[in-house]
Amino acid sequence: MKRFTVVMVAALLLAGTVYAKDYEVTKKAGDLTVEVKIDRNPPATGTNNMDIAIKDASSKAITDATVAVEYGMPAMPGMPAMNYKADAELKGNTYKAVMNLSMGGSWYINVKVTRADKTQTMKFTVDVK
């Protein structure tokens, strides 16, 4: 009985941890690695806060870039395409941006990193609940 309780508590704690975890995507943008975390998992309609870490080939944090997030939805039957842009702000070693996702469905997200007049883009899509 005691062992069963311990296992159950461990399982609940683990489930809680998984539930609270950020939505994470890591991908390359040219020679940079871009790690995106979204505080809603899965991303949901409304406000979604993004934390963007950018690293060079030697895993050093990049903090001298201009970062913008372009996001939206292609045209759907009865609905024109939606395209939005959010500028990301450096706070500490990572960049913060806020997306407002107006409806559920598949959204594209492009993280544009500009350094020394060169822009590199990391792209992914999310299924918004």
Query: Which CB, 63 or 83, lies closer to Cu ion?
Result: 83
Query: Which CB, 41 or 102, lies closer to Cu ion?
Result: 102
Residues that bind Cu ion (CB under 5 A): 73, 76, 79
Q: 68: part of which helix (H) or strand (E)?
A: strand 66-73
Residue 85 Cβ vs Cu ion, minimum distance, rounded to whole Å: 17
Contacts of 27 (CB under 8 A, 6+ apart): 33, 34, 122, 123, 124
Query: Which CB, 95 or 107, lies closer to Cu ion?
Result: 107
CB 22 within 8 A of CB 38: yes
Query: Which CB, 10 or 76, lies closer to Cu ion?
Result: 76
Residue 104 Cβ vs Cu ion, minimum distance, rounded to whole Å: 9
Residue 79 Cβ vs Cu ion, minimum distance, rounded to whole Å: 5
Helix (H, G, I), strand (E, B) or coil at 6: helix
Residue 77 Cβ vs Cu ion, minimum distance, rounded to whole Å: 9
Helix, strand, coil percentages, rounded to 5, for the chain: 15, 55, 30
